[in-house]
Structure 1
Amino acid sequence: MTPTETLDNSEYNRVKSLLQLDLDYENLQDEFQNLNRLAASIADTDISLVNLIDSYTQWTVSHFGMGVQQIPREESVCNYTIREEDHLEIARLDKDPRFKDKFFVAGNGSDFNLKYYYGIPLTMESGEKIGALCVLDKDEKEMTPEKIQQLKLIALEIVEHLELKKQLKTLRREVLEGLKIKNKLAHDIRGPLTGILGLSEIALDDELAKIEMRSYFKMIGKSSTQLLDLTKDILNSKNPKKNPGVRKVSIKELGDKIIHLYQPQATYKNIVIKVDISENDQEKSVYLDSLLQIIGNLISNAIKFTPSGGNVILGLSIGISEEIETLEIQVEDSGSGFSAEKIRNILDGKGISSMGTSGEIGFGLGLKLVKSMVEEMGGDFNISAVENSGGRLKMVIPQY
C-alpha cells in the first residue's frame, strides 16, 4: 500500500501516538547510536538510521554512517515501510520508480548513490507504527533469516525504550495533575477559613460576648488557624519548579529550539522564519510538555502553505486568564490563508488533505492533532485568518 492523500483514523492515531511521546528529536542520538552501530554491523551495511515520521516530516533521530536530520515525509522510503506489517526490502533503489530520482539515490557524494534498503516498522504496544529502523548501502545485500531476526530484536529494543519514555511522561503528567488539584483544594479551603477566622476575632473583641461564647470562638479561631497553616504547607510543598521530572524552559530557549528544528524546512522553500517575543517575556519559563510537538506542527503547516519568498512568524508571550498564567502562541504566515469552509472543518476536528504550495503531499492531520492536543491540555485553539490574506492561528495554554 502506497501513501495517498486519503486520511483515515489509523493514520491519525499513528501520528498522535508519536506526538504523545513528546520527544525532542535532536536529543535522541546518544540514546540510540549504539543500536544503530549494532544494526549496521549485523546487516553489513554502511548506514543505519532510526526514523520517526509525523504529519509532515521524517526525523532521523539517530544515525550511523549518514548525517541526515530530516527530509519531507513524501521523500522518505520509511514512509512506505510504516505501511507494511513486517518489513520492507528494496534490493535496487536506483531501479525503483518511486526512489530512483531521490537525492539519496541519484545524488553525488559519499553519502548518496544508495542502492539497498531494508526497513522494519517501529510498532508501539498499541499497534501504531511511528517510524522505522532501516539499514542502507551502496551495494546490493542479502539478508539471512538470522540477520533479519537480530534486526527485529534491535527494533523491539528501540520501541521498548520509547514505551518507557511514554510511561515516564504519563507519570510526570499525573504529578502535575496532582499538583493542580492540590493547589485548587488548598485555595478553596483558604477562603472560607479566612472568613471564619475573621468572624472569631470580631466576636472575641465584643465586650458583650459571654464567657462561654468567647471560649467557643477561641476554639474556632485556633482550629481555623491550624487549617490555614496546613494550606500554606500544602501550597509551599513539592513546588513543581523544583521537581526534576517537570521540564521548564525560558520562552527564549523555546523559540531558539523551534528555529533550529524547522529552519531547514524553511530554507528548503526559501521562506524566512522569525520568532517574536517581547523583552519582558524573554526569560519567563514555561512547561515544555508537548510544546515542541504543538508548535512544530503549526510551523510545518505554515511552511507548507507559504510560497517561496514568504514569511512565517511565531509569536510567544505570557498572559493571565482567570488568575492562571498562560502561554500564548501565535503563528502567522504569508500564504494562501483559510477559506471559511476550511476553518469550519478544522474547528470541527476534521482532517482535510490538501497540497502545499510546492506540491507537498498533504495528510490532513497537523491542525486536527494540534487542536486535539491543545484542548486536552485545557487550552484554546482559534483561527482568525481569511482566504488569500495569510494564515493566523492562536493558542492559549494554561501553565499549571
Structure 2
Amino acid sequence: MDLDLDYTNLQEEFQNLNQLAASIADTDISLVNLIDSYTQWTVSHFGMDLIQMPREESVCQYTIKSENPLEIRRLDKDVRFKDKFFVSGNGNDLDLKYYYGIPLTIESGENIGALCVLDKEEKKMTPEKIQQLKFIAAEIVEHLKLKKQLKIKRLEVHEGLKTRNKLAHDIRGPLAGIHGLSELALEDELTKIEMISYFKMIGESSTQLLDLTEDILNANTSKKNPAAGKIRIKDLGDKIIQLYQPQAAYKNIVIEVDIPTKDEEMKVYMDSLLQIIGNLVSNAIKFTPTGGKVKLGLSKGIADDIENLEIRVEDSGSGFSAEKIKNILDGKGISSMGTSGEIGFGLGLKLVKSMVEEMGGDFNISTIENSGGRLKMTVPQY
C-alpha cells in the first residue's frame, strides 16, 4: 500500500515509541522501518542515525515476509548478514549482534515495514516483552493509518473549497446578466416583443447555467472520461451564446461565434469546456466597454498527430498590459474592475490557464494596445 507520506516528517512523531521499545527490549537501538520495492526507509530511529538503505541490504526485508516476529540472536553468525556494514564493523562502532523485528501489518494484511530493536549483545526476548513490543507496533500502524486518513480528508476539504470557489466565480457573470436583463424586462417602456426576447434569453441562459454548474461539480469524476459525453462544436458555441447572452446584452455587447463550416459537425469532449470557454467569454465581456464586441472562435486542429480543439477569444476592450500578461502566465490572479464596475477576484484566467495545462493543452495571451485582448488555447481531444 502506498501511504503517500512524508517519511522525513515522522522522526519526532515516533521518537517516544522508539525509546519505549528500546527500553522494553533492553537494547541500544530501536527503528521504525517502512519498506517499498527497492528501499528501506527508517522513518524514526533511536540509538542509530539511519535514513535509508537498499532493501536487499536490510534485515527487515525478511521480517515482512511473515506475519510472525523475526529474532536473530547472532547476526555475525548468519551468512545473510555477517558481512553487512552494521555487523562486521569495518571501522564503525556498530558491530551489532542481536535483532528482533515485528512486522507492521495494515488492515489488508500487507506488511509495510517493521519495528525492530538491535543490540551489540546477544539477547533473548521474553513473552512479556514480545507482547509489549507488539502493542507498540500496532500503535505505529494505527498512527500511520490515521495520518493517511487525515491527509485524505484535508485533500477532500481542499478540493471542496476549490470547487466552491470555481462555482462561485463561474456563475457570477451569467447570474449578473440574468439579473440585469430581468430588471430591464420590467421597465414600462419595453414592447411586448422586447420583453419576450429578454425572457427567452433569461430562460436559455438559466438552462445553460445548470449545465455549467453540473460541469463544475462533476469535474473531478469525468476527467477525459468517455462517459462525460461529446458535443458538436456548433452546439458548444450555441451553449456559450445562450449562457452569456444576458451578460452581454445588459452591456449592449455583441457576441459572435466563428466556426469553420467543415468543423461544425465535429465532436469534442464536454469535459470542463463550459468552464474554460465560459470564463474567457465572461472575462472578455467584463473588460469590453458598452457597445463593444466579443468574438469566440472554435475549430478542430491537429498537433503532433493529436486532435485538439482550438479556442480563440478576442474583444474590443483596452487589452492587457505587459505586466498583466506576465502575471497571468505566472499564475498570479490579480483583481481588477470591469468597464462597468464589475467586481473581479483575479481567479478567471488563472483558473483557465491551470485547467488547460492540466489537460495537456497550451494557453497563450497577447494584446494590441487599445485594440483589445487576444487569447488562444488548444485542448487535446484524447
- 1:95 and 1:61, CA in 2 relative to 1: closer, same or farther beyond 3 A? same
Q: Distance in 2 between matches of 1:60 and 1:97?
A: 23
Q: Which residue of 1 aligns with 2:13?
A: 31
Identify which of 139, 152, 157 aligns with 2:121: 139
Give the letter for the 2:58 counterpart: S
Aligned pair count? 226
Q: Secondary structure at the match of 1:105?
A: helix
Q: Distance in 2 between matches of 1:195 and 1:45?
A: 74
Q: Which residue of 2 aligns with 1:165?
A: 147
Identify which of 164, 185, 189 aligns with 1:182: 164
Give the alignment's Cα RMSD to 1 decimal.
Answer: 4.3
Give the letter for the 1:38 counterpart: L
Q: Given the alignment of the two structures, is residue 193 of structure 1 paired with residue 222 of structure 2, yes or no? A: no
Give the letter for the 2:22 counterpart: A
Q: Which residue of 2 aligns with 1:41?
A: 23
Structure 1 gaps, min length 5: 1-16, 232-279, 286-319, 329-377, 381-400
Give the letter for the 2:352 counterpart: E
Q: Which residue of 1 aligns with 2:354?
A: 325
Q: Is the 8 A contact 2:331 2:353 kept in 1?
A: no
Q: Given the alignment of the two structures, is residue 69 of structure 1 paired with residue 51 of structure 2, yes or no? A: yes
Q: Which residue of 2 aligns with 1:304?
A: none
Give the letter for the 1:150 counterpart: Q
Q: Is the 8 A contact 1:29 1:63 kept in 2?
A: yes
Give the letter for the 2:50 counterpart: V
Q: Secondary structure at the match of 1:120?
A: strand
Q: Given the alignment of the two structures, is residue 102 of structure 1 paired with residue 84 of structure 2, yes or no? A: yes
Q: Distance in 2 between matches of 1:154 and 1:179?
A: 37
Q: Please report the TM-score for the alignment, with normalisation by the length of structure 2.
A: 0.50
- 1:177 and 1:197, CA in 2 relative to 1: closer, same or farther beyond 3 A? same
Q: Which residue of 1 aligns with 2:102?
A: 120
Q: Is the 8 A contact 1:120 1:155 kept in 2?
A: yes
Q: Is the 8 A contact 1:104 1:112 kept in 2?
A: yes
- 1:69 and 1:94, CA in 2 relative to 1: closer, same or farther beyond 3 A? same
**Greater relative contact order (CA < 8 Å, ≥ 6 in sequence):** 1
Give the letter for the 1:85 counterpart: E
Q: Given the alignment of the two structures, is residue 87 of structure 1 paired with residue 69 of structure 2, yes or no? A: yes
Q: Distance in 2 between matches of 1:58 and 1:158?
A: 16
Q: Which residue of 2 aligns with 1:360?
A: none
Q: Is the 8 A contact 1:94 1:106 kept in 2?
A: yes
Give the letter for the 1:325 counterpart: S
Q: Is the 8 A contact 2:105 2:141 kept in 1?
A: yes
1:191 Cα deviation (Å)? 4.8
Per-residue Cα deviation, 1:181-219 (whole angstroms, up to 9, x for no partner): 334443553354244235335546784436x959x97xx
Q: Which residue of 2 aligns with 1:54?
A: 36
Q: Is the 8 A contact 1:203 1:209 kept in 2?
A: no
Q: Secondary structure at the match of 1:323?
A: helix
1:59 Cα deviation (Å)? 1.1
Deviates more, 1:130-139 or 1:101-110: 101-110
Q: Is the 8 A contact 2:5 2:148 kept in 1?
A: no
Per-residue Cα deviation, 1:107-133 (whole angstroms, up to 9, x for no partner): 345642111111001111222211110
Per-residue Cα deviation, 1:136-172 (whole angstroms, up to 9, x for no partner): 1111111111111111011011111111112211211
Q: Distance in 1 between matches of 2:356 and 2:34?
A: 28
Q: Secondary structure at the match of 1:193?
A: helix
1:175 Cα deviation (Å)? 1.1
Asked which structure has the greater CA Rg, the reply is 2
Q: Distance in 2 between matches of 1:62 and 1:379?
A: 39
Q: Distance in 1 between matches of 2:108 and 2:356?
A: 31
Counterparts of residues 264-279 of structure 1 (less than 5 Å): none
Q: Distance in 2 between matches of 1:94 and 1:56?
A: 24
